[in-house]
Amino acid sequence: MPDFDSINQRLSDLEFIRQKELNGDLIKLISAPFATNADQIVYTPATGKTFFHFESKLYPLSSLTQPASPGAASRSVTVEITNNASVVDVLSHYNISYTGFAGGSSGGGMGTNVGTYKGNILDTLVGDAVKSYKLTSSGISGTYRVSLLGWIEDT
C-alpha cells in the first residue's frame, strides 16, 4: 500500500516550488565552467527580502586521464558555501588515477573518487543589499560547475 502521507507531502513540496517559480521568487543559479579559485556564485538579496537557501551542488566536468608514465594524476576542489562570510557547508571532490607499479611493471587503473556533491541545508539570509551568499572554490585542479537553489520572501 502506498504511503499517501509521503506522496501528499512530496506534491506539496513541488507545488510550493512551482508557486515560487510562478511568483518570480525562485532563485536558480549555475556557474559557468571554472578551473580557478574564486567566488563562483554570489547572490545578494535586496533590502526587505529574505533568501532561503535550499540546495547547492558541485558538478565535476573534466575527465581524469591516466598518466602516460608511472605515477598518479588527480583533480580536486573544495567549495565553501558562506552566508555573510560564515561557512555553512562545504562541497568537495577528489579523484586520483594511478598508472604503473614499482619496479617498472606496467598496468594501472582508477583509484579514489570521493566527494560531497550536494548540500541540502535550509539556511536564511536577511537581505540588506550588502550581505551575500557565496559559493567559493579553492584548491582546484580540473574543471567544475556549482549551482545554488533557494527562494526569496518579503522580510
CB 130 within 8 A of CB 47: no
Domain region containing 81:
27-154
Q: Residue 71 belongs to a domain with what CATH number?
A: 2.60.120
Q: Is 90 inside a domain boundary?
A: yes
- Total-model pTM: 0.83
Q: What is the pLDDT of residue 65?
A: 65
Q: Is 11 inside a domain boundary?
A: no
Q: Is 118 inside a domain boundary?
A: yes
CB 75 within 8 A of CB 110: no
Give the residue from 55, 82, 98 showing the smallest Cα distance to 138. 82
Q: Is 78 inside a domain boundary?
A: yes
Give the mean pLDDT per block of 10 residues along the chain (155 residues): 68 87 97 97 98 96 70 87 97 81 52 84 95 97 96 95
Q: What is the pLDDT of residue 4?
A: 63
Q: Is 1 inside a domain boundary?
A: no
CB 56 within 8 A of CB 118: yes
Q: What is the pLDDT of residue 120?
A: 86
Q: What is the rounded distance in angstroms from the CA atom of residue 114 to the CA atom of residue 103?
A: 29
C-alpha distances (whole Å) from 83 to each of 1, 12, 28, 110, 137 are 43, 27, 17, 36, 15
Q: What is the pLDDT of residue 43?
A: 98
- Beta-bridged to residue 51, according to DSSP, are 125, 152
Q: What is the pLDDT of residue 5?
A: 74
**Domain count of the fold of the chain:** 1
